Structure formats: structure tokens, C-alpha cells
Structure 1
């Protein structure tokens, strides 16, 4: 029996698909911005922070990096309500992505900080800067410049991993694909389209991050 491809359902269900794409974009925008911010804070704590905070942040990083993202998502959405912390599907998905990206970006950014020549720290001290001012004005930007490609790749990985948030009924792109195939029974077509959209989103996100890198680190772009 020959399988007949049918994409006619796009005319009826494209609003569902568009909504899923927009929610996926919202997840990666919020998760990316706040996840990287959390990663910077944790990287500072692990590399340059006081001794008492290093094991605390280290425990957080190891716990997140060594457990599945889906379990982290389930713990936030299904586990925290047992402690009286209630949140909606999108809030739980956003929080899970921030926490996950924060842990992974922490180690990437910390590698950039540790590659900073000691002379830069000494230069900051010679200008009467506090350790935090030295980190902010002297160390942070060159460190991010070194690891920007790796950090960009990690953001894309987290974006693709966001597909599992459909498991808690967050209406992202994967949720839309599941919904469409359950109504049309065209599983191949529904997941083929969602696969193409994820591919395009990954390529687009990579270009956006590359452009952001050239704007944040203009000297790097001139090389």
C-alpha cells in the first residue's frame, strides 16, 4: 500500500502551530536571558566568590548537570506544589529552563574566567577597583568573548530540549504537533513539519546569537 502525503491540515491548524512556535520562542527568550544571567552569577561564585558559597553553588551545578531535564521539570511542576509552591505550566517550564541553563552556562563561563591572565586582575587592583568592579569591568567581557561559541551552542541545546515541556501541557511547538496529529491522524506530516520548524528555529537562533556576539564583542568581529 502506498502512503499518500497530505498537508492540507495546515490550512485549518496553522494557528495552533503558530501559537506553539511563539510559546517556544518565549521559553527560549526568557530561559536564555535569565539562564545566562544566573550562569554568570554562579560562575563568579565558583571562580572568585567567598569560600563558603563555592560548595553551595557547586552542589547546585552538579545536581542539575547530572539529572535529566525532564525530571527537573516534573519536580518543579508536580513536586513543589506539595510544599505549597503552585505555578502554571509556562511558569514551571520557564523556571526549569532557567535553572538548567544556569548550571550548564556556569561551567562554560567559569572556564572563560579561569583563562583570564592574572595580570588583568592585578590591573584592576592597581586602579583601586574592588574585586566585584574588577570582575565586572575587566574580567567578564573578555571571558564571555572566549566562550561565546560554546555558550551559544548550549543555548540552542536548551531550546531543543524545551520540547519536553509539552509533558506538563505547556503549549509549545511539540504540544502543537501532538495536538495536530491526534486530530488529523497524520503523524508523519505533523512531526515532519515540527522537525523542520525546530531546524529553522535552531538556525535562526544561531544567527541571532552570532549577531549578538559581534555587537557585544566588536573587536572579535574585526579579526
Structure 2
């Protein structure tokens, strides 16, 4: 039996895919920016912060890195209402992505910080900077430059992980694909389109991260 492709049956549902793309991009941008911010804060706490702060941050990192993202998402969306904290689908999805990326980003950024030569810390101290000022003005950017490829890859992984958010009715690409497949029964065509969309978004995101690196680290760009 020969399978006959019929992408025409999916044409009426193109607006759903477009909406899914928009929501996937929104989740990735907001979750990525806030998640990197959390990662930076946690990396500072684990590497240079006060000793009392290191154990709880380490516990957070290990807890998130050793549990499935789906469980984290369900805990936020279905579990927190038991404590009187109710979040909408998008709010829960973004919070879960931020918490997840924050933990993974923490370890990636911490590796960059720990690779920083001690002379840079001494230079900051010689300029009468506090440890926090030294971190932001002397250490952070070179550290980010070292780990930027790994951090970029992690953000792409987070974008792929956003597909799980369809389980709580976030109308992203995967949600749109599942809905369209249930109406048209053209699963092969629908998931080919979804795969291509994620592939294109991943390529665009990687290129965007490379371009951002050129803006953040001009010296590195000039030496190539």
C-alpha cells in the first residue's frame, strides 16, 4: 500500500501553526532571558557568594537537574494551587522554563567563572572594588565569553523542552500539531511540519545567539 501525502488538508489550520510559533518564541525569549539571569545569580552565589547561601543554591541546582522537566511543570501548574498559588498556563510554563534553565545555566556559567584567572580578581581588589563589583565589571563578561556556545546550546534545548508545555494546554507548536492531527488524521504530514518548524526556529536561535555574541564580546570577534 502506497501512502499518499495530503498537505492540502492541513492548509486551513495554518493560523494555528502561526500562533504556535509565536507562543513558542515568546516562551523561549522570556524563559531564556530570565533563566540566564537566574543562572548568573546562582553561579555567583555558588562561586563567590557568602558561604551560608551556597548550600540552598546547590540543593536547588541538584534538585532541578536530577528531575524531569515535565514533573517540574506539573508541580508548578497542578501542585502549587494546593498551596493557594494558582498560575495560568503561560505563567506556569515560563516559570518552569526559568527555573529549569536557571539550574543548568548556573553550572555552565560557574564553569566559566572558575576558569577565570585569579589575577582578574586581584585586579578588581586593587581598584577597591567589592567582590560583587569585581564579579559584574571584571569577571562576568569573560566568563560568559568562554561558555557562550554551551549556554547557547542549553537555551536551544530549553526551546525544545517548551514542547512539553502543551501538556498543560499552552498553545505552542506541539499543541497546534496535536490538535490539527486530531482533526485531520494526517499525523505524518502534521508532524513533518512541526519538525521543520522546530528545526528552523533552532537554526534561527543559534544564529541569533552568535550575533548576540558579536555584540557582547567585540574583542573576540575582532581577533578572528
Q: Please, what TM-score do these two structures have when normalized by structure 2?
A: 0.99
How far apart, in 1, do the equivalents of 2:95 and 2:161 lie? 14
Does the Cα contact within 8 Å between 2:46 and 2:57 map onto a contact in 1? yes
1:34-113 residue pairs with structure 2 within 5 A? 34-113=34-113
User: 1:201 is matched with which residue?
Assistant: 201
TM-fit CA distance, 1:222: 1.7
TM-fit CA distance, 1:11: 2.5
TM-fit CA distance, 1:9: 2.8
TM-fit CA distance, 1:10: 3.5
User: 2:172 is matched with which residue?
Assistant: 172
Deviations 1:69-110 (A, max 9, x none): 000000000000000000111110000000000000000000
In structure 1, list runs of 5 or more residues that go unmatched. none
TM-fit CA distance, 1:161: 1.1
TM-fit CA distance, 1:2: 1.3
User: 1:16 is matched with which residue?
Assistant: 16
TM-fit CA distance, 1:42: 0.2
Q: Please, what TM-score do these two structures have when normalized by structure 1?
A: 0.99
User: 2:150 is matched with which residue?
Assistant: 150
How far apart, in 2, do the equivalents of 1:119 and 1:35 lie? 29
Does the Cα contact within 8 Å between 2:10 and 2:180 map onto a contact in 1? no
Deviations 1:8-58 (A, max 9, x none): 134210000000000000000000000000000000000000000000000
How far apart, in 2, do the equivalents of 1:81 and 1:108 lie? 32
TM-fit CA distance, 1:220: 1.0
Aligned length: 223
- The alignment partner of 1:52 has SS state of helix
Q: Which aligned segments of 4 or more residues in structure 1 are displaced greater than 2 angstroms? A: none
Does the Cα contact within 8 Å between 2:10 and 2:184 map onto a contact in 1? no
RMSD: 0.6
How far apart, in 2, do the equivalents of 1:219 and 1:126 lie? 24
User: 2:116 is matched with which residue?
Assistant: 116
User: 1:187 is matched with which residue?
Assistant: 187
In structure 2, list runs of 5 or more residues that go unmatched. none
